[in-house]
Amino acid sequence: MALKVYVDRMSPPSRAVLLFCKVNGIEFEEILLDILKNKHTTPEYKEINPMYKLPTIVDGEFKLFESHAILIYLSCAFLGVPSHWYPSDLSKRSKLHSVLDWHHTNLHRGLGGLLFNTILGQLKGLPLNAEAAKEGEKLLVKSLTKLENFWLKDGRFLVGSFQPSIADISLVCGIMQLELLSKKDHDRILSPYKKVLQWIEDTKSVTAPHFDEVHGILFKVQKRIRERKETQSGITEMKAKL
């Protein structure tokens, strides 16, 4: 029985897991659950993941959620995954755990705070919260500064590495969510971080052509959002189009 991967490609952790499988030639069945349409809150999915979150994998009888845990599992469970994705050397592996933990409470939280309280909350029909968006952007900018000056200080990839790891995939898929902002806001936030920009390009390049394929839906939604802003068409209309 092939590995089952439950995802919504609009969610960065879902894209990270998909991308990792594709890059490493892991066979899987992709099950798309549209969060906007609440397809992740059904009783059937509750049996698979009682947290109602995405992504989740089911490998035979084994169920697992939380994308970092999934990426580590896949690195270890599937033969043929090159060791640079999740090194066995204790020091390197520990630094990888450190940046993945940092991601949760810094970069991921900042991105979520900014995007959920601007674009994504709006797609779900929730009221916007300018104060929370501002707080999110503050944490995001602080996190980008740490990426630039610390995590990317010594290598082409995270934690001083010259080969990509699961952390590069996870964090870059997160930052890609900024594509949903207007071009002006996207560039205002990201352009001061030259190493970060180069690292995003390097991660895209080592995971090509899968990176663009997995991010296709993101760019479709980006186009709709930017068009809407220009034409001032309503959010309901945009949702109907998706």
* Contact residues for its own copies, defined by CB under 8 A: 50-51, 62, 64-69, 72-73, 76-77, 90-91, 94-95, 97-98, 100-102, 104-105, 108-109, 146, 149-150
Q: How far is the CB of 104 from its own copies (least distance, A)?
A: 4
Nearer to its own copies, 77 or 238 (CB): 77
Of 89, 80, 82, 45, give the one whose Cα is nearest residue 169: 82
Nearer to its own copies, 106 or 222 (CB): 106
Please say whether the dihedral angle defined by the alpha carbons of residues 124, 125, 126 and 130, taken in this order, is positive or negative.
positive
Q: How far is the CB of 43 from its own copies (least distance, A)?
A: 15
What is the secondary structure of 195-211 as a DSSP string? HHHHHHHHHHHHTTTHH
Nearer to its own copies, 28 or 65 (CB): 65
Residue type (1 letter), 238: M
Give all strands (DSSP E) within 1-137, no chain letters.
Answer: 3-7, 28-32, 56-59, 62-65
Q: How far is the CB of 146 from its own copies (least distance, A)?
A: 7
Q: How far is the CB of 106 from its own copies (least distance, A)?
A: 8
Nearer to its own copies, 66 or 213 (CB): 66
Alpha-carbon span 242 to 57, nearest angstrom: 25
Q: How far is the CB of 226 from its own copies (least distance, A)?
A: 30
Nearer to its own copies, 31 or 52 (CB): 52
Of 220, 214, 235, 26, give the one whose Cα is nearest residue 124: 235
The length of the chain in residues reads 242
